[in-house]
Amino acid sequence: MPTVSMTVNGKSVSADVEPRTLLVQYLREHLGLTGTHVGCDTSQCGACVVHVNGESAKSCTMLAMQAEGSDVSTIEGLADGDTLHPMQEAFRENHGLQCGFCTPGMVMSAIDLVRTNADPSEQEVREWLEGNLCRCTGYHNIVKSILAGAKAMAG
Amino acid sequence: MSESGIGAAVRRVEDKRFLTGRGNYTDDINQARQLYAWMLRSPHAHARLKSVDTAAAAGAPGVVAIFTGADMAADGVGGLPCGWQIHSKDGSPMHEPAHPPLAVDKVRHVGDQVAIVIAETKAQARDAAEMIAVDYDVLPAAIDMDAALAGATLVHDDVPNNMCFDWELGDKNATEAAFADAAHVVSIDVTNNRLIPNAMEPRAAIAQHDSSTGHYTLHTTTQNPHVIRLLMGAFVLQIPEHKLRIIARDVGGGFGSKIFHYAEEAILTWASAKVTQPIKWVAERSESFITDAHGRDHETHAELALDNDGKFLGLRVATKANIGAYLSTFGSSVPTYLYGTLLAGVYTTPAIYVEVKTVFTNTVPVDAYRGAGRPECTYLLERLVNKAARETGIDPVEIRQKNMIQADQFPYQTPVALQYDVGDYPAAFDTALRAADYAGFDARRAESESNGKQRGIGISTYIEACGIAPSAIAGALGARAGLYESAQVRVHPTGSVTVYTGTHSHGQGHETTFAQLVSESFGIPVENVEVSHGDTGEVQFGMGTYGSRSMAVGGPAILNACNKVIEKAKKIAAHILEASAEDIEFKDGKFTVSGTDRELAFGEVSLAAYVPHNYPIEELEPGLDENAFYDPLNFSFPAGCHICEVEVDPDTGVVDIVNFTAVDDVGRVINPMIVEGQVHGGVAQGIGQAMMEGCVYDDSGQLLTGSYMDYTMPRADDLPNLNVGTQSVMGASNPLEVKGVGEVGAIGSPPAVINAILNALAPLGVDDISMPATPARVWQAIQNA
């Protein structure tokens, strides 16, 4: 089995994996980082979104070996100790989550939006979320959270 | 109101773990020596199983065991039971054909389980499953309900004409008489589209068996762990409760689809004793589409009789309800007592008669999905009322106001079994009309028209019966179990509290709202309260979460347990303060001797309850830990009015929801932030049903909408911001006076959306459209008009 090495949440990791191992399987099953979820098998739901070299990526659609040498960050790496990332805090403050299953992907996707667009409009947020499904919230409070999170990240 | 008590918008206790990736969903859990299962499923909708040859697969790398239906049958494993018995018009009980967890002689829908393959890895199990040779004798499939009722193809050989039951409710003669006297009769045919629930977390399970003790443990994605323990233990596998533990930690959404006892739970649990290692199974989304119970799927013809003034005289309803290939856990209750009993809606219609033919087909079982029966009822009524308005020339607002039950008519006995306890429908209706600026609509329509768009506004009122259920009434209606709820409130020595509830939270925020109840009762901060749910090894008993029952039935159980704690604590405080218990007052977390400044804090009394030096030991047991069971006296009846405003592009058929207003009477609001969130989510699912979602089978029973590429889920840019508010009437038949909020959005919204679209298209001559009103369907309706 080939060896794959990358940085995950600032830590160097390396493992022998079957070549067909998906990045999300590597994160969940090899590293125990179960915050990244799998909600579909067609890359539609976005529950598995992580950052690869700072950009959002669906980790169910990438082989672990494609992330060789990359800098990967997951939902587990966002908070600073007990202090939530401003986007996490905005979701908490604005009730942007219910069952929590889509939430890691939503938060990771939202942070990538703000990276590319520091002051998004409501419509821009809604369009950006085309790759993330939520069945609980009707998106109302997710959109509100992301707008508030963007402001907090700027501030 | 205290800072964290009833009515406060407390931020959710559970959020931090979800936001930091520390949730504990079933697939996040792994056991030592764990094996992986793959289910071999039927690719055919209907076939006889001539042979299942597992020999080659059994020798594949990593394979530990393969079992088929014959293996389970040889062990005497029972079928999956249905929890609700319905009787047909002629008094005969519904047909309950066998539902073996693994198919024995026939497969009856695409996705039916044929074999379980257990291997060292999931990939090995899946690879080996492809080596199983199944000889299917493919049969014609019964898919369309009319064709199924004709009976040429039988899903179950022992069910003639595929009719599970032919049920009725209401006074047929009185209804016929009402129609004989009518000035107008308005009729309608509506289809309530079949939906796929699609909780974002796919179902999953891990079963393990300890042969030294005989204990089984099943982690599973369920909304009601104790119900699974009861059904699977007593009816399927014959495992007594003390040897069977069901655990559902975090569950990623349910919406009804995770209520039911599914075959995989029984198969895994049974197989775990055979292989003596833990077994994990996680559904892929494509499996969820073909195995999670679907929702809705009604075809209805209905007629409304009116007098000359537009007063409703009678309602006659004939419905065909698809129940799928097997009776799922609550499948029979949905098109009957959760549907027909609500047909009065918020109106004074004096005579109602409904008959429902429930039909087996070669499709996935149909069962409760958010709203369950009540959305079907509301959609029918509110489409019919709008059509009546149109045909009689009475304004849709006026015809509703003219027929509404008035605030001074409660309790109100409907002609279809239920007695509404409290409500004020005209008040919520007026509030909604104002909030939606109904009066200003004509000006907005003119503006849209000047931009080449058709604008429409649609109204829906609704009522639902929640707080499932008053056990005696439910039993009289066919429920095979009472639907009590239980709670345990354990005060720890230093005054912190753990609450054990038999309800289950899978997004509803019970860890917060139930803590608020305790915070209010004991005058302690929510941080000092922890809510435990989802583990039959921790919680004494429960019936789970569905039917908007958690706060309406589970809440009073917690409240009653808190009151028992307070009563006992007063006696302890009285002893220490050398006063009479009758003289002890409890307020804001302090026990005080009336009229004095002598007091003890909550934590001082709890400490004395456990580690006392001075305790009335001859009169009172130590400890501060109380149980309560609660059975409601009646259902609760949330009601309200939803108003949708749309703009339609006649060139493309694209419908844009420009405003959506919901005013709901949900009774007492424990946490307004969570209540709003529940309404948002329900409305989104209702808009999804009205405009996007629809399950499609072809004639051979293949599911054509079997992925997110084919089944349209509402996305963020499909939906507007939602204008939601509550206008509650107190007095619901439970001590908290709560009514339930989980389902109102999905019930009230679909007819509001369709009525709005029809209102927009009326000038073009369109008078009917079916859900989902996709752009293609809207465009076609315009072309056909």
Per-residue pLDDT tens digits for B701-734: 999 999 999 999 999 999 999 999 999 999 999 9
Nearest Cβ partner for A134 among B200, B255, B286: B200
- Mean pLDDT over B639-645 rounds to 98
- With a cut of 70, say whether residue A31 has pLDDT above it: yes
- Mean pLDDT over A36-46 rounds to 96
C-beta of residue B21 within 8 angstroms of C-beta of residue A108: no
Task: Say yes or no for a CB contact (<8 Å) between B677 and A142.
Answer: no
Restricting to A residues 22-61, those with a Cβ less than 8 Å away from any Cβ of B are 28, 33-42, 44-45, 47
Predicted confidence at residue B3, as pLDDT, reads: 80
Topology annotation, domain B33-139+203-282:
Aldehyde Oxidoreductase; domain 3 (3.90.1170)
- Residue B711, token pair as written in the block: 């089944």
Predicted confidence at residue B469, as pLDDT, reads: 86
- Mean pLDDT over B212-226 rounds to 98
Domains in chain A: boundaries: 3-76, 86-154
Nearest to B84 by CA among B334, B366, B416: B334
- The residue in chain A having the minimum alpha-carbon distance to the alpha carbon of residue B720 is A140
Please name the helix (run of DSSP H) or strand (run of DSSP E) that holds residue A105, with its range, or none. Answer: helix A103-116
Predicted confidence at residue B2, as pLDDT, reads: 64
Q: What is the percentage of chain B residues whose pLDDT exceeds 90?
A: 98
- Residue B81, token pair as written in the block: 């039971």
Q: Residues 6 or more apart from B559 whose CB is under 8 A from it? A: B517, B521, B735, B736
pLDDT tens digits for B458-508? 999 999 999 998 999 999 999 999 899 999 999 999 999 999 999 999 999
pLDDT tens digits for B74-103? 999 999 999 999 999 999 999 999 999 999
Task: Say yes or no for a CB contact (<8 Å) between B19 and A107.
Answer: yes
Nearest Cβ partner for B684 among A45, A47, A138: A138
- Residue B15, token pair as written in the block: 């959020």
- The residue in chain B having the minimum alpha-carbon distance to the alpha carbon of residue A108 is B19
- Mean pLDDT over B289-293 rounds to 98
ipTM of the complex: 0.98
CATH hierarchy code of domain B484-630 = 3.30.365.10
Exposure letters B314-337 (e unless 16+ CB within 10 A, then b)? bbbbbbbbbbbbbbbbbbbbbbbb
Kindly report the average pLDDT of chain B as a whole number: 97
Q: Identify the three-state secondary structure at position B479.
A: strand
For A3-76, the fitting CATH number among 3.10.20.30, 3.40.462.10, 2.130.10.10, 3.30.70.1060 is 3.10.20.30
* Residues in chain B within 8 Å Cβ distance of A97: 15, 18-19
Predicted confidence at residue A143, as pLDDT, reads: 98
* Residues in chain A within 8 Å Cβ distance of B684: 137-140
Peptide bond into B101 cis (omega under 30): no
Distance in Å, alpha carbon of B250 to nearest chain A alpha carbon: 8
- With a cut of 90, say whether residue B4 has pLDDT above it: no
- With a cut of 60, say whether residue B253 has pLDDT above it: yes
- Is the pTM higher than 0.80? The answer reads yes
- The residue in chain B having the minimum alpha-carbon distance to the alpha carbon of residue A102 is B200
* Residues in chain A within 8 Å Cβ distance of B713: 133, 135
Touching check for B507 and chain A: CB below 8 Å?
yes
- With a cut of 80, say whether residue B627 has pLDDT above it: yes
Distance in Å, alpha carbon of A24 to nearest chain B alpha carbon: 12
Distance CA B171, CA B232 (A): 39
pLDDT-based confidence at B333, cuts 50/70/90? very high
The DSSP secondary-structure symbol of B52 reads E
Predicted confidence at residue A155, as pLDDT, reads: 83
For A86-154, the fitting CATH number among 3.30.70.2190, 3.90.1150.10, 1.10.357.10, 1.10.150.120 is 1.10.150.120
Predicted confidence at residue A121, as pLDDT, reads: 98
Predicted confidence at residue B1, as pLDDT, reads: 46
- Mean pLDDT over B199-224 rounds to 98
pLDDT-based confidence at B325, cuts 50/70/90? very high
Peptide bond into B180 cis (omega under 30): no
Domains in chain B: boundaries: 33-139+203-282, 298-469+634-784, 484-630
User: How wide is the angle at C-alpha B751 spanned by C-alphas B746 and B756, nearest 5°?
Assistant: 125
Task: Say yes or no for a CB contact (<8 Å) between A104 and B21.
Answer: yes
Topology annotation, domain B298-469+634-784:
Aldehyde Oxidoreductase; domain 4 (3.30.365)
Q: Do domains B33-139+203-282 and B484-630 have the same CATH topology?
A: no
Distance in Å, alpha carbon of B746 to nearest chain A alpha carbon: 11
